[in-house]
Amino acid sequence: MKQSKVSKIKTRKRDSVRVTKNNIKSFKTEISQYLDSNGFLSYSAKKKKYVILGTNTPKDGLVECPECKSGQLLIIKSHTTKKRFIGCTNYYNGCKASSPLLQKAMIKATRIKCDICSWPTIFFRFGRKQKWQKQCANMKCISRKSKV
């Protein structure tokens, strides 16, 4: 028998993932929130990850809007000012729920609701060497006040 041209790479157990039905199912649900309407992912070469419409917000929103109860809160980037903020999808119908985000920080938005105001919580850090910090996305939330 001829040896194949592709050489086998030695892998350690800690470097590999055991493929199971549960792993595949959880991966499918996790990745499906980043698909666009055609079922494609958009890839950001700068950040080296898949993103949807230039943000890392799931397509069906982070959480339900606490003010209008019918829209979803999303991370939006303004085309004119290039600033990021969280706003409601029901804005054009009169909902005024919006809050600015940190502009120079790396942000990871989550679907976890704040216990006090039910806005989404975000993780942020300013540099690679800093730890991720957690806070509520709402500027007016009591939990966001400094603990001095």
Counting Cβ atoms within 10 Å, is residue 66 exposed (0-12), middle (13-18) or buried (19+)? middle
- Note the pLDDT tens digit of each residue in 44-72: 555 555 554 444 556 667 888 888 888 88
Residue 38: pLDDT band by 50, 70, 90 thresholds? low
Fill in the DSSP letter of residue 105.
Answer: S
- Note the pLDDT tens digit of each residue in 78-91: 888 888 888 888 88
Averaged pLDDT of the chain? 76
- Of the candidates 88, 90, 107, 110, the one whose C-alpha atom is nearest the C-alpha of residue 99 is 88
**CA–CA separation, 91 vs 98, rounded Å?**
9
Q: Which segments of the chain does DSSP mark as H helices, in order?
A: 21-32
